[in-house]
Structure 1
Amino acid sequence: MGKKGATTAAALHILVRDEQKALTLLSELNNGADFGKLARAHSICPSAKQGGDLGEFRRGTMVPAFDKAVFSETAVGILGPVKTKFGYHLIKVLYRK
């Protein structure tokens, strides 16, 4: 579980336009697919070139739904799909501190 007062995090994500595609990719991830490879192949975010790596960011930097998912103290492993104005995200939180 994450630290309740975490102010920074690092995460990878896969951004797709529709929820069904996100659910299909989530199923692949749950069956052992490599997150970075799926991000490079399917994500519509520029971070896809880095396997979906968003690096480290501070609480409040990302859009509200994304931020809430990442900094939730119960958030572990792969989260999503999380809907934002950009589409549907699958998020892999690397750490929170």
Structure 2
Amino acid sequence: MPTALARHILVKTQAEAEKLKQRLAKGEDFAKLAKKHSICNSGKRGGDLGEVRPKQMVKPIDNVIFRKPTNQVHGPIKSQFGFHLVEVIFRD
């Protein structure tokens, strides 16, 4: 079964996610932004989701983690929790 390492930032609004994505594009540190802005518990770990397997995450996030290119920030992605920015670090 494939695995991946990913991190994310979860916020309440699409506008907030878009602003954070722009900041990331300008070179700001993902982990620092996650710690400061993410409403997910993973924010305390810089957004680190750890090792993820298929179907562990909600479907929209799972699709990004296992189908989109690595080392890019994807999103905003809407889920029932809010809006996510997702970066896939590694996938096998």
Unaligned runs of 5+ in 1: 1-5
Q: What amino acid is aligned across from residue 75 of structure 1 in structure 2?
A: P
What SS does the aligned partner of 2:57 have?
coil
RMSD (Å) for aligned C-alpha atoms = 1.1
CA distance in 1, matches of 2:59, 2:40: 17
When normalised by structure 2's length, the TM-score is: 0.94
Q: What amino acid is aligned across from residue 51 of structure 1 in structure 2?
A: G
When normalised by structure 1's length, the TM-score is: 0.90
Which 4+ stretches in 1 moved above 2 angstroms?
none
- Residue among 75, 83, 87 paired with 2:69: 75
CA distance in 2, matches of 1:49, 1:63: 20
Aligned length: 91
| Structure 2 residue aligned with 1:55 | 50
Unaligned runs of 5+ in 2: none
| Structure 1 residue aligned with 2:13 | 18
